[in-house]
Structure 1
C-alpha cells in the first residue's frame, strides 16, 4: 500500500488554489493507485511554530529537551518527520507570497530537515536520507514566473528536497491566476492536464539541470 502525504500551505485554506490543486492531485493519485493511504496536514489550520534556538538545540541532542515547551516542540518535529519518512509520495500545495514560499511551509521544512535524521554530512558532502520517494509540487501564482530569474520558489524547493534525499520531483504550475477569469480558468485546466501527464509518466523526473 502506497502512502501519500499532502501538505497544504495556502493561507485561505480550502479556498486556496494551491490547496485545491493538491487535493485534486491526491484524488487523482488514489484513482490511479487504489488502496493508497492519504495523510493531509494543513499548515494554515495547524501552523508549525517557527524554529527557535531552544527547539534547535533538541534536534542535536534530544536529551536537551528538559522543559515542557522543548519536549512538545521536539515531539511535534518527530511527528512531522515520521509522516514524511512513512510517505512514498509527497504532495505540496504552494502559493507564491511576495515571490517566495509561505512562511508556514518554511517552518515545516525547518522541522523536518534534521541532521542525522533526514540528512547527514559525510566526507564527500551531504547525503539525504529520505530516498526512493516522489514529490509533486502544485504551484499557484497570480503572475507568470516559471523559467524566469524571479522563480526562486522552484529552485529553493528543488535544493531543499534533494538535500533530504528526494530527487524525483514534478513541478505543476498554475500561473496568471490574477489576470482575469478567462486566464485563471485556462491556467487551472492546464495544471490539471499536467497532473494527469505526471501520474501517467513511469520515468522519474529527477532534478533538471
Structure 2
C-alpha cells in the first residue's frame, strides 16, 4: 500500500485554510505520515545548524548530533514516501518560515543533491508531489507568485520534478468568491490525489 508524506506549515492550526483543505481531501486515507511543521517546529538555519548538517559527525557536539539525526529522519521519511502532499499558504508573498526550515533541513549536498560538471543533480527518487497553496488575494501567474517558482525550484533541485499545484486564491476577497475557490481547490485535490 502506498504511503503519503503530508507536510502542513500554517501557523493557524485548525483555522488554517490549507490545513482544512488537506484534512478534507485526505479524510479516510491510510498510510499517511503527517508532519505539522508549525506545531512541531524545526530549527531555523543558523551557523550551528549548518555546521551540524555539513560537518564531520565525530566532531559534533550533542546538540549538533541531535540536529543531524533529525535531518536524517526527515530525509528518510521523504525517501520512504510514495508521494508527497504539501500545504503551502502564502505569507507575505513567500512560504511560511516553518516550511522553509524543512527544506533547509533536507537540502544536503551529497545526500539529497550533488553538484556535477553540468550542474546540480537531485538524489531523491522522483515521486508525485501535490502542493496546495492558499492565498488571501489573487497571485497565480503574476510576478507576485514567488511561492510557485520557489517550490518548483527547490523540489527540482533535490530530484522531485513531478509537481502539481492546487491553488485556493482570493480567500479574503469575499465569502462567495472564497467558497467557490475552496470548492474548486477540493475538486482539484481529489483529482490529484486519486
Tell me which interval the TM-score lies in, with the shorter structure as reference length. Answer: over 0.9
Unpaired runs of 5+ residues, structure 2, are none
Unpaired runs of 5+ residues, structure 1, are 31-35, 201-209
Length, aligned pairs only? 194
Match of 1:192 in 2: 186
2:126 and 2:61 map into 1 onto residues whose CA distance is: 36
Q: 1:1-209, aligned counterparts within 5 Å?
A: 1-27=1-27, 30=29, 36-63=30-57, 65-199=59-193
2:138 is paired with a residue whose SS is coil
Structure 1 residue runs of 4 or more that deviate by more than 4 Å after TM superposition: none
TM-score of the aligned structures, taking structure 2 as reference length: 0.94
Q: Given that residues 65 and 71 in structure 1 are in contact (C-alpha distance below 8 angstroms), is that contact kept between their aligned partners in structure 2?
A: no
Offset at residue 67 of structure 1 (A)? 1.6
RMSD of equivalent CA atoms: 1.5
Q: Given that residues 8 and 19 in structure 2 are in contact (C-alpha distance below 8 angstroms), is that contact kept between their aligned partners in structure 1?
A: yes
2:32 is paired with a residue whose SS is strand
Offset at residue 68 of structure 1 (A)? 1.7
Q: Given that residues 131 and 164 in structure 2 are in contact (C-alpha distance below 8 angstroms), is that contact kept between their aligned partners in structure 1?
A: yes
Q: Given that residues 79 and 125 in structure 2 are in contact (C-alpha distance below 8 angstroms), is that contact kept between their aligned partners in structure 1?
A: no
Offset at residue 65 of structure 1 (A)? 4.9
Q: Given that residues 129 and 162 in structure 2 are in contact (C-alpha distance below 8 angstroms), is that contact kept between their aligned partners in structure 1?
A: yes
1:115 and 1:92 map into 2 onto residues whose CA distance is: 23
Q: 1:68 to 1:144 in 2, by over 3 A?
A: same
1:78 and 1:61 map into 2 onto residues whose CA distance is: 14
1:65 and 1:186 map into 2 onto residues whose CA distance is: 55
Offset at residue 71 of structure 1 (A)? 1.3
2:85 and 2:49 map into 1 onto residues whose CA distance is: 26
2:77 and 2:25 map into 1 onto residues whose CA distance is: 19
Offset at residue 105 of structure 1 (A)? 0.6
TM-score of the aligned structures, taking structure 1 as reference length: 0.88
2:87 and 2:10 map into 1 onto residues whose CA distance is: 7
